[in-house]
Chain A
Amino acid sequence: MQRAGKLVIRRLIGSIPVLLIVLVGTFFLLELASGDAVDAYLVSSGGGDAALVEALRADWGLDQSPITRLGLYLWNIAHLDFGHSVLLNRPILDVVLERLPNTLLLMGSAVALSFGIGSLLGIVAGSRPGSARDRLLSIGSLALYAVPSFWLGLVLVVVFSVQLRWLPLSGIETLASGKAGLDRAWDILRHLVLPVGALALIYLALYLRLMRAGMVEVWRQDFVLAARAKGLSRRRIVWRHVARNALLPLITMLGLQSATMLGGSVVIESVFSIPGLGRLAQEAVSGRDTPLLMGIIVISAVLVIVTNLIVDVVYAMLDPRVGASEASA
């Protein structure tokens, strides 16, 4: 356990420069885009005159040089002050924390679902590589993987919400319904089915393929031959020996996925009108709200770093070879 503790501390320190690079990079990328928050605001509010434009720029601190603004921003971030969103006119931390649970719920369920079902199907496919059901699953999963998530989302909506009317069309829960407790949980669950389904169906293929490939690899190992020679049942070999050893790459993938999913959820959050971080980030970019976007990125980066850390720790616990050199260095 001490080994894991050292690993955590090293990783946390190592992530600070990463965060800094991400922040400065984002800042200048958004700076390069033409137009600023005042421009975006004027368009949305139907215009104004020159004095108003000037007053707004001064008010929102956009009359200072980019370097001054970046410095000021980093100084505030170092003090854990995320600042104020000009787009929403609210404290950024409040906004982000309000949206974070929705995205986490969406992402978490989608990752869990695609990991769970994907690896199970991968075991089914990998238990008899080359068989008919293996081919069927491989082709089916590839086809799903090739489908764009927004399209799948829209099709699911048309079928299950518009035509069959089994499931709600969009949102995270029934609006202003006054539901509480179990009622509310059931309501949220019903709302999550389609967006989570759309996200999970696509990523499921990834886990399926990875599991299957890993198992094909393991089948050739000597210990499998030994197991067969011992006269173990096929089922026991598949579950105890092959699948277990093929599982490690999936955990690596799980860590990587958590980052990708943040991006993938932008589209799904828009299609399903879910107030999450992805949609907020998109609004921040089109409104040129640099502090808001940076706030979202810091929080997302922290999220990704923590997830990867957990993955590493789990990895280190599962496989004694991993991280040994790093921790002892």
Chain B
Amino acid sequence: MSKFLVSRRTLLGASAALLASTALPRLAFGQDAVKGGRLIVAADSEPRNLNPAIVASNGVFFISSKVIEPLAEASFDGENGLAPRLATAWEGSADGLSATFTLREGVTWHDGKPFTSEDVAFSALQVWKPLQNLGRLVFANLESVDTPDPLTAIFRFSKPTPFQLIRYALPATTSVLPRHLYDGTDIAENPANAKLVGTGPFKFTEYKPGEYYLLSCNETYWGEGEPNLDEILYRVLPDRAAAASALEAEEIQLAAFSAVPLADLDRIGKVEGIEVISKGYEGLTYQLAVEINHRTEQLANLKVRQAIAHAIDKKFVVDNIFLGYAKAATGIVPQNAPEFYDASTPQYAFDVDKANALLDEAGYARGADGNRFTLRLLPAPYFNETTQFGAYLRQALAAVGIDAQIANNDSAAHQQAVYTDHAFDIAVAPPVFRGDPAISTTILVRTATAEGVPFSNQGGYSNPAIDKLIDDALVTVDDKARTALYNQFQQAVAEDLPLINVAEWGFITVARTSVHNVSNNPRWAVSNWADTWIDG
């Protein structure tokens, strides 16, 4: 286990080359893939809508990515960090007004109909742009899709759209749906959203609510000799302790997305035949951040925000809350986004004296009880680590004389309190970095336009300079110029602290050693598993 821990740390440290890294984990050198068998994995949730073209979320992808494929998938060694899937080549025009995709030949849908550029055009215009949670933003300026022949799709944009952004968005936002099943229907309510039909290596076979999803081998998959597995069975295990026991009892062979709690990893990693793997999530970086309500008088003061940043011991958080399976954050863009990451942003070292001095300077002297003021602290309930950090933050702030009152809510209540009612002063959030800052990161600080949108700036923060950088980057076509804008953006955020980034983490996969080709791409858990195999 420690082997992988070290490899992950060095990997994250060598931020410059991470996505392009060729280090492949656990490739069974000299071993031939065994055909057949059933892989049983743990699933902790049953998404309401399983259609990845509409709901681009990891919970949906975990199951649906084996059935419905995107145009391209993330890759450790591919050009620009991508490997071809339904598209074999892609190119953006110099003016940013069009992007041409060459599609794969000889692909058929699971129902036998051929896959063509019409399917891509339909998915882009009727699904990704109007219906998809991420695509609504990425494809906002998509005007039309030309299909000169069945294997070419040309996207036309009304405003310059950086191809850099499209490229990073390909794995998550371009799941292609079969036009012949969706055209002319109510797409959001189509029965195929529950019984998926795609082009992927596995066909959707059965769903028994509360028990399992069963996928089975697509005999006519385009990938030569793929898939290796006969079946993938997702076993619904809602209890946090269940996945670890099920792995030990060999009732499941793999648990992804940290279904086995961090505290159990040390023990389970020592069990014969079980491996703890921290690779394979580089394309799905989660960030631990302190969200700030800038409507609160004290927090509108930059000195107070700086004091809070100085009061947090990031190393302690990484070592004790994440048990080492994370990295201290340096800013709003994580270190494993080498194309955008700027290492020179201002840092706020852990320094209680400085934090106290800053608060004194800001004019908030300690009262008779040692407190300067009281804040409402709402930790997001989505992960053990976010609630634990909430408890830590309360202590850290107490050391500088800020009395943080914790209110723990469940998901729905937290969502309403923070993102709709704004009934918080500071909140703990786990936003996701999805390859390009424009996809789901700039929304955390850009002046908000609407209430009720989760994982967005609901703290009332508004900074015209930062807004301008964000808006310019959305229409800057040149990669270098665009990256430069994002470097300025990172500097500005680090200086003004609209939110405080504390740590960055990927998830942990725990698997039986009988499972091979695990974690061999940066979005492995949500990729197609066509090359995965198990010992016969």
Contacts and interface: CB of A to CB of B under 8 A. Distances in A.
Interface of A: 33-37, 39-53, 86-90, 95, 98-99, 154, 157-158, 161-162, 165, 168-172, 175-176, 270-271, 273, 275-276, 279-280, 286-288
Contacts of A51: 136
Contacts of B432: 46
A34 to B, nearest CB: 4
Interface of B: 40, 45-49, 55-60, 133-134, 136-137, 194, 206, 208-212, 214, 231, 233, 235-239, 241-242, 245-246, 248-249, 251, 382, 409-417, 420-421, 432, 440, 449-456
A271 B241 CA distance: 8
Contacts of B421: 34
Nearest to A171: B211
Most buried by B among A35, A99, A271: A35
A31 B236 CA distance: 29
A173 B236 CA distance: 13
Contact of A275 (B209, B214, B382): B209
B47 A44 contact: yes
A169 B249 contact: yes
A35 to B, nearest CB: 3
Given A36-B416, A40-B411, A87-B48, A273 B242 contact: yes
29 contacts: A33-B412, A34-B416, A34-B421, A35-B409, A37-B412, A39-B412, A40-B415, A43-B382, A43-B454, A45-B60, A47-B133, A47-B454, A48-B133, A50-B450, A52-B136, A53-B452, A53-B453, A89-B48, A154-B241, A165-B249, A169-B246, A171-B235, A175-B208, A273-B238, A275-B208, A276-B210, A279-B238, A286-B412, A288-B412
A39 B249 contact: no
A252 B81 CA distance: 68
A169 B136 CA distance: 43
Contacts of B249: 161-162, 165, 169
A21 to B, nearest CB: 25
Nearest to A157: B245
B454 A271 contact: no
A58 to B, nearest CB: 12
A90 B249 CA distance: 34
Contacts of B194: 89
Contact of B248 (A43, A162, A172): A162
B385 to A, nearest CB: 16
A46 B56 contact: yes
Contacts of A39: 411-413, 415-416, 420, 452, 454
Contact of A43 (B47, B238, B242, B415): B415
B409 A46 contact: no
Nearest to B58: A46
A161 B248 CA distance: 9
Given A53-B452, A53-B453, A169-B246, A35 B416 contact: yes
Given A33-B412, A280-B210, A49 B137 contact: yes
A180 to B, nearest CB: 16
B239 A273 contact: yes
Nearest to B194: A89
A34 B413 contact: yes
B416 A49 contact: no
Nearest to A94: B209
A275 B210 contact: yes
Nearest to B236: A273
A49 B420 CA distance: 12
A275 B286 CA distance: 31
A170 B237 contact: yes
A19 B392 CA distance: 45
B57 to A, nearest CB: 4
B104 to A, nearest CB: 28
Contacts of B248: 162
B489 to A, nearest CB: 20
B47 A45 contact: yes
Contacts of A40: 411-412, 415
B381 to A, nearest CB: 9
Q: List the 7 shortest-distance A-B pairs measured between CB atoms, nearest first.
A: A275-B210, A35-B412, A50-B450, A46-B57, A40-B412, A35-B416, A39-B415
A271 B411 CA distance: 21
Contact of B242 (A99, A168, A271): A271
A149 to B, nearest CB: 13
A41 B133 CA distance: 12
A169 B48 contact: no
A220 to B, nearest CB: 48
Contacts of B409: 34-35
B212 A42 contact: no
Given A35-B411, A47-B133, A169-B245, A176 B212 contact: yes
A99 B211 CA distance: 11
Given A40-B411, A169-B249, A287-B412, A279 B210 contact: yes
A50 B453 contact: yes
B205 to A, nearest CB: 8
Nearest to B420: A39
